Every structure is written in C-alpha cells, then in structure tokens.
Amino acid sequence: MLTANRSDIGRVRQVNEDQSWVGQLNNGVTVAIVADGMGGHQAGDVASQKAVDAFRSMLEQSAAKADLSLQEGKMLIRQAISQANEAVFEMASRNERYYNMGTTIVAALVKQDNAIIGHVGDSRAYKITEGVITQLTNDHTLVNELVKSGQLSVDEAAHHPRRNVLTRAIGTDSHVDIDIQAVELSPQDVLLLCSDGLSNMVSEQQMLQTVSAEQLDLEARADHLIQLALHAGGDDNITVVLLQEADGTTGEG
C-alpha cells in the first residue's frame, strides 16, 4: 500500500488542531485517520490528538487476526472510533479547561480490494477512480441537514455563515452515532481523507486533477493539494491522507 500523509497549519490559525496517522497493522491491514479538533484555549489540538491515540491503540491491540471479514472490519473501526469518543469525552468531563472540546474523525481500514470508512463530523473521504471523484462521506453539519431537507441549495450551503456548525462530533457526548460503510477498491483507485481545510478551499475538480496526475508520486500529489488550499487562502488547518494499492503505476510512495 502506498500512502502519503500531510498536514499544514494554514495561513490564519495559530495552532494546528488537525491530527492524522497512517499505519500498517500486524495483520497487513492499512489504517488511516484524520481528526480535526475544536474547542477554545487550544483544546482542539488536545481533542484530536487524544482521539487519534485512542483509535490507534484500540486497533493495534486488535490487529492479531489475519483474515478479517468485512463485518469484523466494520465492527473494529466502530469500536476504535467509539473508544476515541470515550477518551475525549472523559478528558473533557474531568478538566474544566477542556469543557466542550471535540473533534471530527474520518478513518479508513483498507485490505486488498475494499476499504471500510468510518466518520463523524465534516472531515471527508473521497474515492478517485479513472477520472471520477466520489465523495463517500456525508457531512454531519447543520447546513448539510438543510440541503437534504431542501431548505438550502448546495451553492448557498457552501457560503453559509454557519457552515462549520457540526450536528455530530467526537467527545461532546458520552455516546455518538458513527457512520460506517464498505467500498470496493481496484488497484488504480486512490482514497483521499481530508479535513475541511482542504474540502472548503479546493474544488472536487482540482482534487481530481491533482490526484490523477500520473507524473507525480503520491507524496507529491498530497503536497500539491496542500499548496492549492494555501493558495486559496489557507483559512484553516489542512490535512490530507492519500492511500493507493501499490500496483507499480505511481512510482515509489
């Protein structure tokens, strides 16, 4: 599996509240996570770090089984995200400084020809395949609810003053609903996980062109996506993870 993992503080923020991790478990499964923290007084970076650590340790402990079924994979990623929720919620409950902190999570567990995606919040997963980009996740935001109910158009939602208001986050409640799905992958497909610092600043068309640029290796494509977000203003922290089955078409990653 070729992977690239990039994060940038952006042009406006004082602290990078995004966290990401990509790793290969003992059973050969590749796992990736992007978390975008929120909460005043630097609580956002604490929340995202705590969530990634809890998610990672849960998966590393459970990674002994070599032939995970799809169902077991879904259960595993659900448990790991639940664990992250508990860890952040408990820390926020114990410490006044961290009151109300939380984070988004988008995570992928990739084995051979499929990926299991879990998410909470508005960090996204996309699949790029043969000239087509597909957004896999559904933002848990107020404006997305308004779009789904027909009260806002997609264009209006993109510029809505409250577009960053989440309807679901990790760590703000003792229990959280987690969206889980399985997606088929072919060797040419690229999975893109990102925080909204990318998806708010860079169009799907730009993402598609960059990720499809065969003359660039995966690392260079991730770097280019970060640069596009910075050129567009870099209003937020920007995090990008790219994953592709190593099939010899993309150079070395």
Give 166's strand partners: 141
Residue 112's pLDDT is 79
Give CB contacts under 8 A, 24+ apart, made by 139-148: 140/166, 140/167, 140/168, 140/169, 140/179, 141/165, 141/166, 141/167, 142/166, 142/167
* pLDDT bucket at 76, cuts 50 / 70 / 90: very high
Q: Is the distance from CB of 47 to CB of 136 less than 8 angstroms?
A: no
- Residue 248: pLDDT above 60? no
Question: Do residues 11 and 234 touch, judged by C-beta distance below 8 A?
Answer: yes
pLDDT at residue 253 is higher than 50: no
- Is the backbone of residue 42 left (phi > 0), alpha (psi -120 to 50) or beta? left
pLDDT tens-place string over residues 15-42:
999 999 999 998 889 999 999 999 866 7
DSSP secondary structure letters along 92-139? HHH-GGGTT-EE-EEEEEEETTEEEEEEESS-EEEEEETTEEEE-S--
Q: Could you give all domains of the chain from N- to C-terminal order, each with its CATH number? A: 2-133+168-244 (3.60.40.10)
Contacting residues for 9 by C-beta, under 8 A, at least 6 apart: 15, 16, 237
pLDDT digits 0-9 by tens, 116-169: 999 999 999 999 998 999 999 999 999 999 999 999 998 888 888 888 899 999
**In this predicted structure, what is the pLDDT of residue 169?**
97
Per-residue pLDDT at 41? 65
How far is CA 199 from each of CA 57, 91, 103, rounded to the nearest angstrom?
Answer: 28, 29, 17
Q: Looking at residue 247, what is its pLDDT?
A: 63
pLDDT of residue 40: 67
The answer to whether residue 250 scores a pLDDT higher than 80 is no
pLDDT in tens, 77-114: 999 999 999 999 999 999 988 988 999 999 999 987 89
For 157-208, write each residue's pLDDT tens digit.
888 888 889 999 999 999 999 999 999 999 999 999 999 999 999 999 999 9
Using one digit for the tens of pLDDT, what is the confidence trace for 236-245? 999 999 999 8
Is the pLDDT at 251 greater than 80, yes or no? no
Q: Is beta strand 132-135 parallel, antiparallel or unpaired with respect to 105-111?
A: unpaired
In this predicted model, which residue has the larger pLDDT, 251 or 76?
A: 76
Crossing angle for the helix pair 70-94 and 43-61, to the nearest 10 degrees: 140
Of 187, 223, 228, 185, nearest to 205 by C-alpha is 228
- 252 pLDDT exceeds 60? no
CA torsion angle 201 180 119 46 (round to 10)? -160
Q: What is the pLDDT of residue 65?
A: 72
- CB–CB of 165/143 below 8 Å? yes
- Its pTM stands at 0.94
Mean pLDDT computed over every residue of the chain: 92
42-52 pLDDT, tens digit each: 799 999 999 99
State whether the Cα torsion 228-232-234-237 is positive or negative: negative
| pLDDT value, residue 162 | 86
- Segment holding 229, helix H or strand E: helix 218-231
| Beta strands 190-194 and 124-129, pairing class | antiparallel
User: Given this model, what pLDDT does residue 159 score?
Assistant: 83
